[in-house]
Structure 1
Amino acid sequence: MDLKLAGKTALVTGSTAGIGFAIAKRLAEEGVEVVITGRNQAKLDEAAAQIAPVGKVRPILADPATADGAAALIAAAPDIDILVNNLGIYEARSFTEISDEDWHHFFEVNVVSGARLARHYFPRMIERNWGRIIFIASESALLPPGEMIHYGMTKTAQLAIARGLAEQTRGTGVTVNSVLPGPTRSEGIVDFIRSVVENKDAPEAEREAEFFDKLRPLSLIRRLIEADEIGSMVAYLASPLAAVTNGAAIRTEGGIIPTIA
């Protein structure tokens, strides 16, 4: 299917691996010139080299989780058509052990980074009467997990920002949406699952099964999501074909969230 994205420009944060990389690659395949970001030059160059054979990619070394990093990124890419706020961190930690510094750090990285970029790009999209802003949230936004409440809090905050911005797009060609992935396969999620299951020395497949049995029992697909599966959904939402989807929180979590949530 032609998503009619050829000639557009997108910025995808946190895009050297995992969901962010999959989104960037999928957009590049659709003819989008993709700006990818990261804090490590070697990883950034490696990601760009993997995307280059399928489309246009421009790597920028910058960290929008800091004000200076966001300013540098905006200076290097002042105008874009599509903003995908994917940058984020997570960890398992007992609520009583989450320090003030932890709360602030998670909020700064997961929430403020995206707000900084949207603050710059959103008015320009409104002025041009076309644009897409997509926040990569999580099923944890609606069902905060007990083992990482601070992470869940940041994902709920992303939904609030996205919906509030969408309210300001009335009558324009700009849309703002959130995507709610469930647990998605990556190096980080493998380590995370090992940290929360009881049998840490079991084979990976058994650890994954235990994770879904005990910690995500509502999942309908009973498996980790592949990053490419999220990338395809985001590419569609970024396209003109998704013009009537606005202010939405799109569930791509494998059925973890009950219908009544």
Structure 2
Amino acid sequence: MHLSGTHACILGASSDLGMAIAHTLADAGIELTLSACSEQGINRITLAFPAATILKLDMKEIAQYAMTDRASELDGIDSPDYLIDCMQTDFEAFIAGAESSDVTSYMETNISGRAACLRHISRMMLGKRFGRCIFISSTAAALPNAGQGFYSASKLAGEALYRSLGVELGKRGVTSCSVRLGYVQSGRGTDFLEKNPQTTGRIPMARAVTAQEAARSIAFLLSDDAQMINSTTITMDGGLTACK
């Protein structure tokens, strides 16, 4: 596996999956810019990756700055070759019962903020005529459980943004794809699986994806060998969504 780029930016790097991706890329000699939205997350990635550039990014603020073209924390990102977008805030609610203010805040953070980040970083990639962007989506984009409607909507919106980026910029050396992960043995996924052990019985491979498996697959998708995988969504769920 060969990586022509030397610098990767990981949004939402303090998650278990983000950390696994960061370790995989660091082992490959890639320079890292890592972001988190909380002080706890910043402390976690700082301890694990002391040589990385660490940024605290508030996506809601970034979305608001973008409306007026004001400078934001995004200016701390210095021309990455790769973007891996693991960023996602937690919000589950029934559509009919959700508070309007919570819905607005969630969408502003996870759709408008993401769009502002992608716009900013892809412009830097255009200057080099090289870039690879990967969005971490979820099988809930297509098959949400009750209460996941807003989460599903934000994932579908993210997939649309990344798909369109590859269509628009592929000829200029900037490509993209999304990865729909099923149940992952990390973070909130671990808590859910421990409380619902019957869930793995629905997966043909009878287990969840590990964070390390996902990280290695994402590293491959960044590689030169995967450049023609563009403007599409790949599902990695052990066969879960192939079943009735």
Give yes or no for TM over 0.5.
yes
Measure the CA separation in 1 of the matches of 2:94 and 2:241: 23
Look up the SS of the partner of 1:3 in the other structure. Answer: coil
Contact 1:62 1:69 in 2 (8 A): no
Look up the SS of the partner of 1:257 in the other structure. Answer: helix
For 1:60, give the aligned amino acid.
L
For 2:2, give the aligned amino acid.
L
Contact 1:93 1:147 in 2 (8 A): yes
Which residue pairs with 1:96 in the alignment?
96
Measure the CA separation in 2 of the matches of 1:232 and 1:69: 34
* 1:99/1:40 CA distance change after superposition, 3 Å: closer
Measure the CA separation in 1 of the matches of 2:229 and 2:124: 20
For 2:231, give the aligned amino acid.
G
For 2:204, give the aligned amino acid.
L
Measure the CA separation in 2 of the matches of 1:21 and 1:254: 22
Which residue pairs with 2:14 in the alignment?
16
Give the count of matched residue pairs: 239
Please state how far the C-alpha of 1:179 moved relative to its aligned partner: 1.0
Root-mean-square deviation (Å) = 2.5
Q: Write the mapping of 1:57-96 to structure 2, written as runs, cut at 5 A.
A: 57-67=52-62, 71-96=71-96
Question: Match for 1:232 among 197, 204, 216?
Answer: 216
Which residue pairs with 2:36 in the alignment?
38
Which residue pairs with 2:111 in the alignment?
111
Measure the CA separation in 2 of the matches of 1:9 and 1:83: 9
Which residue pairs with 1:209 in the alignment?
197
Look up the SS of the partner of 1:137 in the other structure. Answer: strand
Look up the SS of the partner of 2:2 in the other structure. Answer: coil
Measure the CA separation in 2 of the matches of 1:130 and 1:69: 26
For 1:13, give the aligned amino acid.
L
Measure the CA separation in 2 of the matches of 1:222 and 1:73: 42
Measure the CA separation in 2 of the matches of 1:123 and 1:156: 23
Measure the CA separation in 2 of the matches of 1:12 and 1:75: 15
Please state how far the C-alpha of 1:212 moved relative to its aligned partner: 4.0
Deviation per residue, 1:94-117 (Å, 9 max, x gap): 333222223223322322222111
Contact 1:63 1:69 in 2 (8 A): no
Q: Write the mapping of 1:158-237 to structure 2, written as runs, cut at 5 A.
A: 158-191=158-191, 193=192, 204=194, 207-213=195-201, 217=202, 219-237=203-221
Measure the CA separation in 2 of the matches of 1:232 and 1:175: 19
**TM-score, normalization by structure 1:** 0.81
Deviation per residue, 1:58-100 (Å, 9 max, x gap): 2122223422788543221231111112110234433332222
**TM-score, normalization by structure 2:** 0.86
For 1:79, give the aligned amino acid.
S
Measure the CA separation in 1 of the matches of 2:208 and 2:186: 9
Measure the CA separation in 1 of the matches of 2:105 and 2:207: 30
Look up the SS of the partner of 2:83 in the other structure. Answer: strand
Measure the CA separation in 2 of the matches of 1:25 and 1:187: 16
Gaps of 5+ in 2: none
Q: Write the mapping of 1:221-260 to structure 2, written as runs, cut at 5 A.
A: 221-258=205-242
Look up the SS of the partner of 1:66 in the other structure. Answer: helix
* 1:158/1:43 CA distance change after superposition, 3 Å: closer
Measure the CA separation in 1 of the matches of 2:187 and 2:144: 22
